[in-house]
């Protein structure tokens, strides 16, 4: 078991370069399956989920290395359309391979995916999307298979703007015959990054980043070199850490426009944020102010992936704040752990009512999922004394050695392997 030990209570300071985005890198690696040849993909973070994706690609017949943030991938020999069950169970993002493998090989089989325990995570929109291209679906004994001679372009309306379903459908459509239109598409920046990657490969995609994406299928895609966008959730985590623990930091390799909702919330709570090109300067010298009501929602709304970290920040604010979670149910598993550190939070009907306290006490707490884990690390940095965060393998799914990132910002945090 690995844990973080944090000696908290010091303000943060220094400069940190933000890692590449996990949620952009994962679908991009899956999309590479659709062309034959060698790719160089830069700024791919060193994370457990990326490792699993590369293991899956290798099991399908690809060759892959990952050194200093660069993934080299040779997809020439991919010939297997069955994602291995043990790897599928380790990561929900393996579902991204359905569209690309179906488009390249005409068949794909997966078992139902795994992932973080943050509520029911359905895949019905992925399945109905791929079926709409004319592919034949079969489900038996926990396996889902699709088969097709040729995917055919179609109009697809998503009843919810699911990020993963939009990506899966966009990838399949890139090699389908004819034109596909996705209505009520997700608008997250990672969708635009995937579209840019596919367009660099020769795809014809317009409208990514809006709620209507139009894809004209092409016969062939080619391998490319590409750099992944910066991780807006990691940048947001550091902004909220400064808000909670105080300090003055500079973040480089950021795209501030991807963080508009968070910047607005943090500023209204008293955090000073200045942006210049890809640099963000963040300063906080006093306890934050509370905020009436924040509702998580699809982009450009406040991201559910920053909800837990925001809760740590607001738990130290002057006054009472309310956060309503609308994207995932059961995404309040950090509340009990924050309460062990002295936070005063009451949850009812998908909303958390947070009465700010002036300080946290240190404690031993457990990360229940990726972002809940990050929220506890922020709490430990803000608290006086020694906080231990257990089950940090969840944190390693999304943060490239979070302890080093915070050490660079002056925090005292060490990883212990038992
Ligand atoms: C992606 C992100 C994740 C983020 C989430 C929401 C990646 C790898 N992960 O996850 O970090 O928290 O977006 O911003 O990019 N839903 C259905 N049917 C489906 C698919 C989704 O009902 O077929 C529901 C889910 O249960 C959930 C909501 O839609 O309640 C959002 O899911 P979705 O946008 O698909 O998130 P992911 O792509 O899984």
- Closest residue by Cα to atom 20, ligand 1, is 123
Other beta carbons within 10 Å of 348: 7
For the stretch 4-58, pLDDT in tens is 999 999 999 999 999 999 999 999 999 999 999 999 999 999 999 999 999 999 9
Is the CB of 96 inside a 6 Å radius of any atom of ligand 1?
Answer: no
Q: Quick check: 307 pLDDT over 90? A: yes
Closest CA to 380 of 398, 356, 361: 361
Query: What is the C-alpha to C-alpha distance for residues 127 and 4, in angstroms, rounded to an integer?
Result: 39
Distance of CA 123 to the CA centre of its chain: 17
- Closest residue by Cα to atom 5, ligand 1, is 163
What's phi and psi for 204, nearest 5 deg?
-120, 90
The pLDDT score that the predictor gives to residue 118 is: 45
List, in sequence order, every residue forming a beta bridge with 265; answer none if it has no partner: none
The pLDDT score that the predictor gives to residue 418 is: 82
Place of tokens 């034109």: 179
| Å from CA of 281 to ligand 1 middle | 31
**Which atom of ligand 1 is found nearest the CA of 49?**
8
70 carries an active-site annotation: no
Domains in the chain, CATH or no CATH each: 2-19+230-417 (3.65.10.10), 22-227 (3.65.10.10)
Question: What does the buried/exposed string (b/e) look like for 281-310 if buried means 16 or more CB atoms within 10 Å of the residue's CB?
Answer: ebbbeebbebbeebebbbbeebbbbbbbbb
- Closest residue by Cα to atom 30, ligand 1, is 328
The pLDDT score that the predictor gives to residue 120 is: 56
SS (H, E, C) the chain: CEEEEEEECCCEEEEEECCECHHHHHHHHHHHHHCCCEEEEECCCCCHHHHHHHHHHHHCCCEEEEECCEEEEECCCCCCCECCHHHHCCCHHHHHHHHHHHHHHCEEEEECCCCCCCCCCCCHHHHHHHHHCCCEEEEECCEEEEECCCCECCEEECCCCCHHHHHHHHHHHHCCECEEEEECCCCCHHHHHHHHHHHHCCCEEECECECEEEEECCCCCCCCEEECCECHHHHHHHHHHHHHHCEEEEEECCCHHHHHHHHHHHHHCCCEEEEECCEEEEEECCCCECCCEEEECCCCCECHHHHHHHHHHHCCCECEEEEECCCCCCCCCHHHHHHHCCCEEEEECCEEEEECCCCCCCCEEECCCHHHHHHHHHHHHHCCEEEEEECCCCHHHCCCCHHHHHHHCCCEEEEEEC
The pLDDT score that the predictor gives to residue 68 is: 96
Mean pLDDT over the full length of the chain: 95
**Which atom of ligand 1 is found nearest the CA of 96?**
8
For the stretch 73-114, pLDDT in tens is 999 999 999 998 888 888 888 889 999 999 999 999 998 765
| Å from CA of 204 to ligand 1 middle | 25
The pLDDT score that the predictor gives to residue 26 is: 97
| Å from CA of 164 to ligand 1 middle | 6
- Closest residue by Cα to atom 37, ligand 1, is 164
For the stretch 115-148, pLDDT in tens is 444 455 689 999 999 999 999 999 888 889 999 9
Taking residues 311-327, what's their average pLDDT?
A: 97
Query: What is the C-alpha to C-alpha distance for residues 143 and 165, in angstroms, rounded to an integer?
Result: 18
């Amino acid at each position: 078991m690995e844990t973080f030990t944090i000696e908290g209570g010091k303000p943060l300071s220094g400069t940190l370069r933000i890692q590449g985005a996990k949620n952009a890198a994962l679908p991009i690696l899956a999309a590479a399956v659709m062309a034959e040849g060698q790719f160089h993909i830069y700024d791919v973070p060193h994370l457990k989920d990326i490792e699993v994706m590369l293991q899956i690609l290798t099991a399908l017949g690809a060759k892959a290395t990952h050194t200093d943030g660069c993934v080299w991938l040779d997809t020439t020999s991919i010939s297997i359309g069955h994602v291995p069950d043990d790897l599928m169970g380790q990561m929900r993002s393996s579902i991204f391979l359905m569209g690309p493998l179906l488009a390249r090989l005409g068949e794909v089989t997966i078992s139902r995916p795994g992932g973080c325990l943050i509520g029911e995570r359905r895949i019905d929109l992925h399945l109905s999307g791929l079926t709409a291209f004319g592919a034949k679906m079969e489900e038996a004994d926990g396996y889902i298979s699709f088969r097709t001679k040729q995917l055919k372009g179609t109009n697809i309306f998503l009843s919810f703007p699911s990020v993963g379903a939009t990506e899966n459908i966009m990838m399949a459509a890139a090699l389908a015959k004819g034109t596909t239109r996705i209505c009520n598409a997700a608008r997250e920046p990672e969708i635009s990054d995937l579209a840019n990657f596919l367009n660099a490969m020769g795809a014809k995609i317009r409208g990514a980043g809006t709620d209507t994406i139009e894809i004209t299928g092409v016969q062939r895609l080619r391998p490319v070199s590409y750099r992944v966008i910066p991780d807006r959730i990691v940048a947001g985590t550091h902004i909220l850490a400064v808000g909670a623990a105080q300090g003055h930091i500079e973040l480089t390799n950021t795209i501030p426009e991807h963080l508009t909702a968070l910047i607005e919330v943090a500023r209204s709570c008293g955090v000073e944020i200045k942006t210049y090109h890809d640099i963000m300067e963040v300063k906080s010298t006093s306890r934050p102010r509370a905020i009436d009501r924040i509702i998580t929602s699809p982009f450009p709304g406040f991201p559910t992936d920053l909800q837990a970290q925001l809760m740590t920040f607001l738990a130290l604010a002057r006054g009472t704040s309310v956060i309503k979670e609308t994207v995932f149910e059961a995404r309040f598993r950090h509340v009990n752990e924050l309460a062990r550190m002295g936070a005063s939070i009451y949850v009812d009907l998908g909303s958390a009512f947070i009465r700010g306290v002036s300080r946290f006490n240190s404690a031993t707490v457990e990360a229940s999922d990726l972002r809940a884990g990050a929220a506890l690390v922020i709490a430990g940095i803000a608290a006086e004394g020694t906080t231990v965060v257990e089950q940090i393998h969840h944190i390693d799914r999304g943060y490239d050695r979070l302890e080093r990132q915070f050490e660079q910002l002056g925090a005292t945090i060490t990883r212990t392997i038992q």
